[in-house]
Structure 1
Amino acid sequence: MQGEWAGELVGPDVWETCRELIPAGSVFAFLAEHREVLFPPGMFADMYPSSNGRPNLPPQVLAATVVLQSLQGLSDFETVQELRCDLRWKAACGLGLYDTAFDPSLLTYFRRRLRHSADPMRIFTKVKEVVAATGVLKARQRRALDSTVLDDAVATQDTVTQIISAIRRVIREVPGAQEVAAEHCRAHDYTDPGKPRIAWDDETARATLVDALVTDALNLLGYLPEQNLGEKAANAVGLLALVAGQDVERAEDSDGRDGRWRIA
């Protein structure tokens, strides 16, 4: 079960001490003021059914973070940097002034739990309800009410993050993989810690990126030199094979032989 989080703020409460620095009427102030109403403690209990204890971080914090991440189109790494360094993000998500946030992988795990839950759109639904009641978000923030924003965070961002991370791991751990990637992988600069720079509100651009990343993963696996791998290298190869196949399928108009892929 989820359990209750007994942690304490690290440093002063940013919303209480720096409220005048947070733009009034902004999405940051909105989340700071309404976060407890949006995401009550029991809202995510079904996502943590284990009897072994509570999650390491309140899911309410992760939910508020995912909303901001979706609105600003940031990678997991970029999102955590904002949460560590930007007072507005700390206020919106309920963190203390000196809180260093969390490892970016927690966002991937949270989105995965959300996607496989009985109500994967619960965050969007609650945001829409409270915004309708308060009217706090107007024209320039209306994208917060578009379910495709959180669809992207829950599906595309999850798949993109996992594939890129797995490719980087193979490049790092497997002898010869760096040379193979340099020659055969074109979808992304895998030395860049950020998210691929595309128009994330463009469905075609997102689909093209996923297709290209899966192609990179398959090329990397297919062109690796035959060799005996140690445990870390073998695990990296196995993980890439898993993530490149678990959430994708051939494109709708593909004959299965032209190497075109989409999110399942």
Structure 2
Amino acid sequence: MSMSPHAIISIPEETVRIARAAFPRGNIYLSMRDQLGTVYEDENFTALFPKRGRPAEAPWQLALVSLFQFVEGLSDRQAAEAVRSRIDWKYALSLDLADPGFDFSILSKFRARLLVGSAEATLLETMLERFKEHGLLKARGKQRTDSTHVLAAIRTLNRLECVGETLRAALNALASIAPEWLHEHVVPEWFDRYSTRIEDSRLPKGQEARKEYAELLGADGSRLLSAIYDSSALLHLQELPAVQALRQTWVFQYYAEEGHLRWRKAEDLPPAGLRFDSPYDPDARFGNKRSITWTGYKVHLTETCEDDEIHLITHVETTAAGITDSELSAPIHNALVKKDLLPREHFLDAGYVDADLLVKSQRDLGIEVVGPMRPDSSWQAKTDQGYDLTHFTVDWQTHQVVCPQEKQNTCWTPHLDAWGTPVISVKFSRTDCRLCPVRSLCTKSAEAPRHITLRIQTDHEMLQQIRGLQTTPEWKARYERRAGIEGTISQGTRGFGLRRSRYIGEAKTHLQHLLTAGAINLVRFASWMAGVPHAKTRTSRFAAMKTPEVSLAI
């Protein structure tokens, strides 16, 4: 394998003949090569390699090998061995049967080049372009999105373990970079205290004993930080990631009192989403989604979902665990615009949908977001016994709003809210509201009159129409299409290791998710070309009895 100006397209006839004979029923890699070609070309990655010096391995081949290893869940060593020994891999990679392949370490170097050159998205985007060329992917169709949690590749630590391991990680980093400097500042007792891994089973028992131990760690860490930030210290030590993690953790976990560091109480800690739970992956954060808690990341998958077409993953987003789904709705749409893959209908669950998204997506991008709106958060709507917004009649031409007691507003003030959205502030007469016999249904204030906030007319009417549609059986039946993304998440989790990060850090984890999405697309493409239909939702025997026409014969 060596660098070439263009993707290699010729395959030795002997390789073709043996590959066909070895896989008479078809093969993922043979199907890909026959129908899509090489998928990648060297030009997709030339910016990542120097123009001078020894030729590198062909990047288009390394990109395909990276995808293949995620199809089968192989390590770098196993993938390199597959290149040397597998006929189907050699066929897809345009290699002679006697080609010796390459050293496994080249794969990790290739991934590093992708990240340094910010070219990781090329892996999925180039594949999608190839699908477009073959008529398997187009814009303005139906797509759906959902997210799932991803566990970081670290040991889960409790609070005290995290503090101890953060200090130990800093000591190990300093021992590697500046051993002589560290030897001058180390305390002899630290060798017994921090030479081995900090584990809960070895920590003191009892709340008071643990608090005392935590403050001992705090004093040790403070002493080390003081030495590092001393004017005579080596300046580059302050920039070490392990030292930065130590400084940040000490700010989070301790406070100064009368010249001593004190262990913070749980209620005095910053939000869990701001803290990291391990010094070995500071990007990993605590996440909570309904009853699930984890430390790591969150991945958002978007796929096409037409009835009679192949379902392909079109976009992948990887975020910190604490980022809410609603924060990703607009970025996903913007990314699909850049790929020229904007859908006409986008199926989302309630976590992604808010009023702004529904309005702006339809108005600015022509996307109909199909997802349940969050209910009116006012107490009047929640109790279903008060006068919420639907009880008021609005005349947009005369700027008049009539309440359920036939009283008109006295104030109509257009302005921008805190998020920059155009709204209209409507207030009623203080006298009318004070004398109203049903005041308790309208406001809980003893003095202030009723105040409501409207969106501009087009947005207000659109939202009211959507709220009405979502109560109909037709809309609910249409929304069932969104549930199919759960199957994609299950496929990624069970078949491709999507649930656990293979690497450290958000950037590498995102690269993993892009390769996983590409691998899923390859598998789906091979199945589609083989005539395998979309899987149907499985129904239990008992549930099937509800439908008389369903046969219960075995």
Instruction: State TM-score, norm by structure 2.
Output: 0.26
Aligned to 1:22: 23
Which of 215, 218, 229 is the aligned partner of 2:169?
Answer: 218
Query: 1:202 & 1:257 partners in 2: Cα distance?
Result: 16
Give runs of aligned pairs for residues 106-145 of structure 1, distance below 5 A.
106-131=106-131, 134=134
* Partner in structure 2 of residue 4 of structure 1: 5
The runs of 5 or more residues in structure 2 that have no matched partner are 137-144, 157-161, 181-239, 250-271, 285-504, 507-554
In the alignment, residue 203 of structure 1 is paired with which amino acid?
V
Are residues 1:46 and 2:66 paired? Answer: no
* 1:75 Cα offset (Å): 1.0
- Which deviates the most, 76-85 or 35-44? 35-44
Which amino acid counterpart does residue 113 of structure 2 have in structure 1?
R
Q: Indicate the residue corresponding to 1:152 in structure 2.
A: none
In the TM superposition, residue 92 of structure 1 has moved relative to its aligned partner by 1.7
Report how far residue 23 of structure 1 moved. Answer: 5.4
Q: 1:259 to 1:25 in 2, by over 3 A?
A: same
Contact 1:28 1:89 (8 Å CA) reproduced: yes
Contact map agreement 1:10 1:95 (CA 8 A) in 2? yes
- Alpha-carbon distance in structure 2 between the residues aligned to 1:94 and 1:126: 19
Residue 73 (structure 1) shift: 1.7
Q: Is the 8 A contact 2:80 2:104 kept in 1?
A: yes
Matching residue within 273, 287, 292 for 1:253: 273
* Aligned residues with identical type, % of pairs: 20
TM superposition shift of 1:255: 3.7
Distance 1:124 1:87 in 2: 25
Task: Indicate if the aligned counterparts of 1:254 and 1:260 stay in contact, CA closer than 8 A.
Answer: no
* Distance change >3 Å, CA 220–CA 43, structure 1 → 2: same
SS of equivalent residue, structure 1 residue 38: coil
Q: Kindly tell me the number of residue pairs found equivalent between the two proteins.
A: 179
Question: Cα distance, 1:114 vs. partner?
Answer: 1.5
CA contact (8 A) 1:31 1:64 kept: no
CA distance in 2, matches of 1:12, 1:19: 11
Higher helix fraction (1 or 2): 1
- The question of whether the paired residues in 2 share the 8 Å contact of 1:10 and 1:99 is answered with no
Query: Match of 1:64, SS?
Result: helix
SS at structure 2 position matched to 1:113: helix
The yes-or-no answer on 1:203 pairing with 2:204 is no
Structure 1: unaligned runs, 5 residues or longer: 137-145, 149-200, 229-243
Cα 1:260/1:64, change in 2 over 3 Å: closer
Q: Could you say which residue in structure 2 is the equivalent of 1:93?
A: 93
Q: Displacement, 1:24?
A: 5.4
> Amino acid of the residue matched to residue 29 of structure 2?
F
Distance 1:36 1:45, change over 3 A: farther
Determine helix, strand or coil for the equivalent of 1:74.
Answer: coil
Could you say what secondary structure the match of 1:203 adopts?
A: strand
In structure 1, C-alpha distance between the alignment counterparts of 2:93 and 2:11, rounded to whole Å:
13
Question: Deviations along 1:217-241, whole A, 9 cap, x unmatched?
Answer: 939937x8xx99xxxxxxxxxxxxx
Using the TM superposition, give the Cα deviation of residue 104 of structure 1 relative to its aligned residue in structure 2, in angstroms.
0.8
- Cα-to-partner distance string for 1:38-93 (whole Å, 9 max, x where unaligned): 11232222112x23146321111111101101222211011111121121111122
Change in Cα spacing, 1:104 to 1:85, as seen in structure 2 (3 Å) is: same
Partner of 2:57, secondary structure, is coil
CA apart distance, 1:20: 3.0
**1:134 and 1:4, CA in 2 relative to 1: closer, same or farther beyond 3 A?**
closer
8 Å Cα contact 2:30-2:91 kept in structure 1: yes
Q: Is the 8 A contact 1:77 1:104 kept in 2?
A: yes
1: CA distance between counterparts of 2:93 and 2:21?
A: 17
User: 1:98 deviation in Å?
Assistant: 1.5
Does the C-alpha gap of structure 1 residues 116 and 33 become closer, same or farther in structure 2, counting only changes over 3 Å?
Answer: farther
Deviations 1:103-137 (A, max 9, x none): 1111011111112324321121222333455589x
CA 64–37 in structure 1, closer or farther in 2 if over 3 Å, else same: closer
Instruction: Write the mapping of 1:56-67 to structure 2, written as runs, cut at 5 A.
Output: 56-67=56-67
CA gap 1:39/1:54 in 2 versus in 1, 3 angstroms = farther
Q: TM-score normalized by structure 1?
A: 0.50
SS in 1 for 2:66: helix
Report the CA distance between 1:95 and its aligned residue.
Answer: 1.6
